[in-house]
Chain A
């Protein structure tokens, strides 16, 4: 079974700062990779996903993530955060053609105005 680790539990930064959240997974086979975001009081929403092709994927709200196969990593980035990016961010992985989505523990991002 695959496992997912997110490097930071809580990140605090100021508006316009750059954000990078680390995600590593352990699984030797082909995987699908996701970043979900959960805004306060709202449901989990998909930010971006990677199935195959260009390892640099762009998502909604200016987020992007890079899949580095050799490092088993799928880090999330945003060049300039806004106060509205305050949320919890979850990295998730499933093995190709497997129903089970494994989540990381989540990173709480607080953006100060």
Chain B
């Protein structure tokens, strides 16, 4: 089945220690998104890639970076995690926005990040 895969599902890192979260997709979608979801809150968009074009949300901290080496993979790098960065990180994909069916986003299972 075509899907969005996130690894690892659970990640523990130390305060200030860089961490990378991974997302891959077999849907061949050209748009990939990263969301942060804290407990009992709505997912918050951090940034997205439209093909190779990176688009950062205005309120995304500089501590968060992303890489997309190819269509299938996208990485979220947190350079110096703080306690406030503990959250679920969701990856999502969608196809070209110019087609109506593109408005649907497909979500991965998420990576739960703990910062100690």
Contacts and interface: CB of A to CB of B under 8 A. Distances in A.
B100 A51 contact: yes
Contacts, number: 49
Contacts of B105: 101
A99 B97 contact: yes
Interface in A74-113: 90, 94, 96-101, 103-106, 108
A43 B108 contact: yes
A44 interface: yes
Interface stretch (B37-45, B63-71, B72-80): B37-45
Interface residues of B, number: 25
B26 to A, nearest CB: 15
A51 B103 contact: yes
A22 B63 CA distance: 36
**Size class of the contact patch on chain A:** 20 to 34
B81 interface: no
B82 interface: no
B103 A32 contact: yes
Contacts of A94: 103
A50 B82 CA distance: 39
B45 A106 contact: no
A42 B41 CA distance: 16
Contacts of B31: 99
A45 to B, nearest CB: 7
B39 to A, nearest CB: 11
Contacts of B109: 42-43
Contact of A43 (B50, B98, B103, B110): B110
B107 to A, nearest CB: 4
A25 interface: no
14 contacts: A4-B42, A34-B104, A43-B107, A44-B92, A44-B107, A51-B100, A97-B97, A97-B98, A99-B55, A99-B97, A100-B45, A101-B45, A106-B40, A106-B42
Interface of B: 4, 31, 33, 40-43, 45, 48, 50, 55, 90, 92, 94, 97-98, 100, 103-110
